[in-house]
């Protein structure tokens, strides 16, 4: 997924953020990578953003944020679990009491509505949603990335509320896992032994796949958007 340079830069950014909470400037990154010009850094940062590893605010100084780290094989079990538990803190143990009017659900990460996945991730963040928005089953939230569902009013940056389910009716918007690796948010259509994943954007094409390559993970039940 990442080239050596991209990885090196990503690690550097994440270290700096962990150290003092301040993201490095382009000049500092330039020096850290031993470069002599910032423009190369600019390209690397764009590449990391495109691939969904970092997020940034356009035209803002030091406004980088690491939103995921590349796969780290091995280590996963012991050390990670321990680290995860510490990070999760008590609040993960008591996820969502609250009252009647709204409920806390976990935010599981981003889903690129247009291309690949990344619907997993830990980050113990929660979103509170009006109770009337929830479905019957377990619900969780995802942040939408990309514009493939724009014609249904689902925009880049929106938060969608998903009800966990493996069944969905024709025409519903679902989180679909393709070939066990690529999750997308699309409208589901059945067509004989094929399943069509239909985007809501003329610039994207419908994917037609054999039914056994597609697994429904959830159903869209709500949407939240914040304007700034």
**Among the listed residues 41, 45, 48, 66, the single contact to its own copies using CB under 8 A:** 66
Q: Tokens standing for 119?
A: 């619907």
Q: Tokens standing for 199?
A: 């985007």
- Any idea what DSSP says for residue 6? H
Q: Which region among 38-46, 74-82, 181-189, 203-211 touches its own copies (by CB under 8 A)?
A: 74-82
Locus of tokens 């944020």: 65
Closest to DNA by CB, 34 vs 90, is 34
From CA 128, how far away is CA 103, in angstroms rounded? 5
Listed residue (155, 153, 94) closest to 126, CA to CA: 94
Q: How far is the CB of 214 from its own copies (least distance, A)?
A: 20
186 tagged catalytic: yes
Looking only at residues 206 through 225 of this chain, which bind its own copies when binding is defined by CB under 8 A? Answer: 220-225
Contact residues toward DNA (CB under 7 A) are: 3-6, 23, 25-27, 33, 35-40, 42-45, 47, 56, 58-63
**Among the listed residues 132, 167, 192, 212, the single contact to its own copies using CB under 8 A:** 132
Closest to DNA by CB, 45 vs 111, is 45
Q: How far is the CB of 131 from its own copies (least distance, A)?
A: 7
Question: What separation, in Å, do the N-terminal and C-terminal C-alpha atoms of the chain show?
Answer: 32
- Are residues 70 and 10 in contact, defined by beta-carbon separation less than 8 angstroms? yes
Helix or strand holding residue 40 (H, E) = helix 38-50
148 tagged catalytic: yes
**Among the listed residues 27, 43, 46, 80, the single contact to its own copies using CB under 8 A:** 80
From CA 34, how far away is CA 32, in angstroms rounded? 5
Q: Tokens standing for 167?
A: 């069944």
Q: How far is the CB of 192 from its own copies (least distance, A)?
A: 26
Q: Which region among 35-43, 70-78, 178-186, 209-217 touches its own copies (by CB under 8 A)?
A: 70-78
Q: Tokens standing for 40?
A: 């190369």
Site string for its own copies, 101-130 (x = CB under 8 A): xx-x-----------------xx--xxxxx
Question: What are the two backbone dihedrals, phi and then psi, of residue 56, each rounded to the nearest 5 degrees?
Answer: -145, 160
Active site residue ranges:
148, 186
């Amino acid at each position: 997924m990442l080239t050596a340079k991209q990885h090196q830069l990503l690690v550097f950014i994440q270290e700096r953020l962990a150290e003092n909470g301040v993201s490095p400037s382009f000049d500092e990154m330039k020096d850290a990578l031993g470069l002599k010009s910032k423009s190369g850094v600019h390209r690397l940062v764009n590449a990391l953003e495109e691939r969904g590893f970092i997020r940034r605010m356009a035209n803002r100084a030091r406004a980088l944020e690491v939103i995921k780290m590349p796969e780290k094989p091995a280590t996963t079990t012991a050390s990670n679990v321990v680290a995860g538990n510490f990070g999760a803190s008590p609040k993960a143990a008591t996820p969502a009491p609250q009252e009647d009017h709204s409920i806390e659900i976990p935010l599981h990460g981003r889903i690129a509505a247009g291309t690949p996945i990344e619907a997993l991730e830990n980050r113990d963040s929660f979103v509170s949603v009006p109770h009337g928005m929830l479905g019957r089953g377990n619900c969780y939230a995802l942040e939408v990335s990309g514009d493939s569902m724009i014609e249904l009013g689902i925009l880049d940056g929106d938060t969608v509320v998903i009800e966990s389910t493996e069944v969905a009716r024709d025409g519903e918007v679902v989180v679909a896992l393709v070939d066990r690796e690529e999750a997308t948010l699309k409208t589901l259509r059945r067509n004989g032994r094929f399943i069509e994943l239909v985007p809501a954007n003329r610039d994207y094409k419908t994917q037609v796949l054999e039914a056994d390559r597609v697994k429904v993970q959830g159903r869209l039940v709500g949407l939240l958007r914040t304007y700034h």
